[in-house]
Amino acid sequence: MPQSGQEMLDETISTCKSIADGLGTQNQDWENSVIEIVEKFEEVSGTFFFKTMPSVPVTRTAMRDAASALELKNASDWDGMTTAVEILIASSQNLIEKAGMKGTTLT
């Protein structure tokens, strides 16, 4: 069976934690942003939205953006990291709004 929205969110949180781990040595702003994303995702985790199929596309996008950012970090490709974090913030923002946290702004 394909992954559920909740399973994708769990994976995204885990990936984001790996991204954030030690990222501050390269750029503290990046680390702060990713930690904030993890905090917001943990707030919405387990809510009704993630049991529903409409959560799948938006969560999948955030999951893939997080995976791309982690790949760059693991490759020490810091040139692409600014863009990757910006993309991750955008997809995460979209996700938490869809999950019912309108009014929250990720930085």
Min dist CB 75 to other proteins, Å, is 26
With vertex at residue 12, the alpha carbon angle to CA 11 and CA 15, rounded to the nearest 5 degrees, is 85
Nearer to other proteins, 4 or 18 (CB): 4
Q: Which residues bind other proteins (CB under 8 A)?
A: 1-2, 4-6, 47-49, 51-53, 56-57, 60, 100
CB contact burial 52-64 (16+ within 10 A = b; e otherwise): eeebbebbbbbbb
Min dist CB 5 to other proteins, Å, is 7
Distance CA 37, CA 21 (A): 13
Provide the sign of the torsion angle of the four alpha carbons 86, 105, 54, 47, taken in this order. Answer: positive
Nearer to other proteins, 22 or 57 (CB): 57
Nearer to other proteins, 3 or 18 (CB): 3
Min dist CB 53 to other proteins, Å, is 5
